[in-house]
Amino acid sequence: MQDLPHNYTVVAQGNASGSLTAKCENLADIPVAPPSLFGGPGDKWSPEDLFMASIANCFVLSFRAIARVGKLQWHTIECSSQGELDKVDGTIQFTKVISKIKLVIPATENKDNAERLLIKSDEKCLIRNSISCSTSIECEIVYSDE
């Protein structure tokens, strides 16, 4: 990792006819639109979807690093993050995020240790640490001999 601070820039480029694109240097453009709940078409990534994707992806990346340091062997991980949007004091904001994690580990690993590393991953996730709404995780750990 490079020394901190790091800086990230994303450009949102839109026009009067309604198109909107998220752009980032060296990455594919992402067409963006309001979600159907806000009257959008529902067929493109929305800012709300991208926010949830940031939380879920950051959790998985944090877990990868922590599992490597903790020498945990694992097969697959899936993180499904669901955010609740509500009005608080006249402002629409996310009020809570629940992330459901399914981790598949070899039968030779310890489930308690795996759960400890999942909790540590949640605590270290930089996106989760950057938001003010309540967050929680639900862990499911299963054995597999893949």
- Residue 57 domain flag: yes
Tell me whether residue 39 is in a domain: no
On whether residue 111 sits in a domain, the answer given is yes
pLDDT at res. 144 = 93
Domain containing residue 87: CATH number: 3.30.300.20
Q: Per the domain annotation, does 30 fall within a domain?
A: no
Strand pairing class (91-105; 134-143):
parallel
User: Does some domain include residue 29?
Assistant: no
CA 14, 30, 87: angle at the middle one, nearest 5? 70
- The set of residues, in sequence order, having a beta carbon less than 8 Å from that of 100 and lying 6+ positions away, is 79, 80, 81, 82, 137, 138, 140
Tell me, what's the pLDDT at 1?
Answer: 86
Q: What is the predicted pLDDT for the residue at 146?
A: 67
The DSSP result for 84-108, as a single string, is EEEEETTEEEEEEEEEEEEEEE-TT
28 part of a folded domain: no
Sign for the pseudo-dihedral over CA of 56, 5, 65, 122: negative
Task: Report pLDDT for 124.
Answer: 97
Per-residue pLDDT, 141: 98
Query: What pLDDT tens digit does each residue of the chain (146 aa) get?
Result: 899 999 999 999 999 988 999 999 999 999 999 999 999 999 999 999 999 999 999 999 999 999 999 999 999 999 999 999 999 999 999 999 999 999 999 999 999 999 999 999 999 999 999 999 999 999 999 999 76
Predicted TM-score (pTM) of this structure: 0.94
Q: Is residue 124 part of a domain?
A: yes
CB 94 within 8 A of CB 134: no
**47 vs 1: CA distance, rounded Å:** 28
Domain for residue 12, yes or no?
Answer: no
Domain count for the chain: 1
Domain that holds residue 64: 47-143
